[in-house]
Structure 1
Amino acid sequence: MEEKVILVTFFVSLLINAVIVILARKIDVFITDHLHSGPQKFHENPTPRIGGLGIFLAMSGWFIVNNYWIFLLVSIPVFLAGFIEDITKTLNPKVRLFLMSVSGVLAYFLLDAKILKVNLPIVDDILAIPLLSFLFTIFALVGIANAINIIDGFNGLASGVSIMILFSISFVANSVGDTFIRDVSVVFIFAIFGFFVLNWPFGKIFLGDGGAYFIGFLVGVLAVILVERNNVVSPWFALTVMIYPIYEVLFSIYRKKFLRNLSPFEPDSVHFHMLIYKILIKRIFPDKNKLFRNSTSSIFIWILNFIPITLSVIF
């Protein structure tokens, strides 16, 4: 894959997001902070939250040029599920879940993104039943999309973790000779990086639900296809390489539904990154401003996430 192709994807993402940042100062429609106040809001200045648009358009262009139309088709519903919510805050959570599931169904049938085994005897027998494999795959892909959205709480956190995951997927794909998964992952890394440089550390633009859903979903698809196409790659690689965001979504559901009797869709302020911020970062840097502590929290979690990422690749 030519380096200039990768750079074009990076600059397309960067340029689109830079234009959004500039126009946001003059066009109010790009600023929807007043619609998204809540316990997870850690910034003070009005900020556009549609950074995922630049990533999505950059990847869409690459998909079209390389005749990977199916990837674009599959990704549209899940991106729209978040993007419409970003600009309107009116999309019912069940509608969002439906659109994300549509992308999961399309990926299952059109991309052959199927979870057929997890290397556990009883579970593998269950997944041998096509309907159950189908339902589990949709659940997993939708869950990963939501997982990236849940960890999108600080500057660079979700995008940085996603870049680490994609780097691991590309490394393993290259090791087993799967150049297709490697190339898509590398291009995706640079598309996200075009957003990352504007998001971290100064938070000029946010990923938004559209960006988080799109990234999480496509990362999940790539991981599932990598395992499905290459028997030498364990299903546990796909799980452990994403263990941080997966843990967040599972524990979030447990905490809200069973411990606090709340809707799983209801936001709260006790996610792991928020606890790190409140318990650790604020104590270590009591005299620093919120922006500094916000971005520093991401660095701390990147370091923690590096451990399971590394172990996933090695083993």
Structure 2
Amino acid sequence: MFHYLFLFVISFLISLIIIPLLRQTAIEGNVLDQPDERKIHRMPLPRLGGIAIAIAFFFSIGTGYTFFAKEQYYSESIIGICIGASIIALVGLWDDIRGLTALKKFLGQIAAILATIPFGFIIKELNVPFVGIIEVNSIVGLLLVIFWIVGIMNTINLIDGIDGLAAGVIIKIAGALFIISLLTNQIQMAVICVVLIGAVAGFLRYNFPPATIFMGDCGALLLGFITSVVAIKVLFQNPNLNSSSVAPVLIFGLPILDTTWAIIRRLLNRQAFFNADLGHLHHRLLAISKKQTKATLMLYLLNLISISSGIVVIFSNNSFVTLFICVFMLIIGILVILALRQIPTQNEAICIKNLKEKNIA
């Protein structure tokens, strides 16, 4: 376990140390997130936190490669993740600095995914409750991988709406993947997870309410990419695990719930999907709690419940248990949406305005 602790500390300290430097660089270069009617912060804030996470991640992976047994802890899988992560980090950074159209950003995401495919990140089969293993051909497998990774990247981007939320959610998801990796002897994926946790934990020190820096698209896309790719190896391809394919959906349940509700809401309101609004779960919880910290912590709790249900499904390996948990979590999700849906949008806007005036985090 020493090497995991070592890599966590290295990643955490690098992130912790370089963020103030990048924050100053962002201020001087005017790479700032400007306040508007949808945002809590009153003053422009730097949005280069994602590049700090990326630097800490890649440096720590390189450090581990230098100091630990390469044949045991490092493999082609890690190389594939690093190549894809490098591409998506550059796409996100360019979007943060210069701006990208939705199409160009999507093409960048596809490029990052395709870069990982030669390293074995492909879905070859699905484990469906009460049905069993369903093998899929290479084309269907590729489409599933693209749908999964693009979907998760964008769900993480969408929940990055209040201080500390996306970072905290990712730490818990990566923590779950780390535990599953250890228990099923997926050592390389455990290395990826522990390094990511360290990098994001260092960032969260500056992003928890009240935030002094944001992760930007670079951070949100990078975190979504790494965790979704690791999930393919740990949950879809794991030879030591015979769990239902609904488990990954449960582990990523909170961001998936929020994005699913956003899609349904915008379809019902006849809005374009890419049009931002104040209807996300975090916006509505903010209208109730009046403080970002409370809203963030409440969503952390929902995140933990969803992750825990996914872990139970994984290790129970029982179709009836899976069905019960899926129905239970579906009911919770529907109840959460129905409860928060009653909050008028104008209340959220008023809440944000009041928070700005009072500078309450």
Q: Match for 1:275 among 284, 304, 313?
A: 284
State yes or no: 1:85 paired with 2:124.
no
CA distance in 1, matches of 2:264, 2:88: 24
Q: Match for 2:191 among 173, 183, 188?
A: 183
Structure 1 residue 16 displacement after superposition:
1.7
Q: Is the 8 A contact 1:167 1:185 kept in 2?
A: yes
SS in 2 for 1:234: coil
1:56 alignment partner AA: A
Q: Match for 2:249 among 214, 234, 239?
A: 239
2:41 alignment partner AA: H
Return closer, same or farther for 1:173/1:4 CA change in 2, 3 Å cut-off: closer
Residue deviations 1:186-208 (CA, integer Å, cap 9, x gap):
11101110100011122011111
Quote the residue 2:260 is aligned against: 250
1:109 alignment partner AA: P
Q: Is the 8 A contact 1:16 1:54 kept in 2?
A: yes
Residue deviations 1:195-242 (CA, integer Å, cap 9, x gap):
000111220111111100000111001111102123334322211010
Q: Is the 8 A contact 2:26 2:32 kept in 1?
A: no
Structure 1 residue 23 displacement after superposition:
4.0
> Structure 1 vs Structure 2: percent identity of aligned residues?
24
TM-score, structure 1 as length reference: 0.87
CA distance in 1, matches of 2:133, 2:87: 30
Quote the residue 2:32 is aligned against: 32
Structure 1 consecutive aligned stretches of length 4 or more whose deviation exceeds 4 Å: 120-125
State yes or no: 1:298 paired with 2:296.
yes
Quote the residue 2:172 is aligned against: 164
SS in 1 for 2:46: coil
RMSD: 2.1
SS in 2 for 1:276: helix
Return closer, same or farther for 1:162/1:281 CA change in 2, 3 Å cut-off: same
CA distance in 2, matches of 1:42, 1:116: 44
1:252 alignment partner AA: A
CA distance in 1, matches of 2:36, 2:88: 23
Quote the residue 2:12 is aligned against: 10
1:80 alignment partner AA: L
SS in 1 for 2:273: coil
Quote the residue 1:285 is aligned against: none
SS in 2 for 1:134: helix
Q: Is the 8 A contact 1:39 1:267 kept in 2?
A: no
Return closer, same or farther for 1:122/1:266 CA change in 2, 3 Å cut-off: farther
Q: How many residues are matched?
A: 297
Q: Match for 2:137 among 129, 135, 138?
A: 129
2:175 alignment partner AA: F
Larger radius of gyration: 2
CA distance in 1, matches of 2:210, 2:175: 24
Residue deviations 1:230-289 (CA, integer Å, cap 9, x gap):
333432221101011112222222322x222232222111011111111x112xxxxxxx
Q: Is the 8 A contact 1:108 1:114 kept in 2?
A: no
TM-score, structure 2 as length reference: 0.76
Q: Is the 8 A contact 2:50 2:220 kept in 1?
A: yes
Unpaired stretches in structure 1, ≥5 consecutive residues: 283-292
Unpaired stretches in structure 2, ≥5 consecutive residues: 66-73, 314-361
CA distance in 1, matches of 2:143, 2:124: 10
Quote the residue 1:225 is aligned against: 233
SS in 2 for 1:235: coil
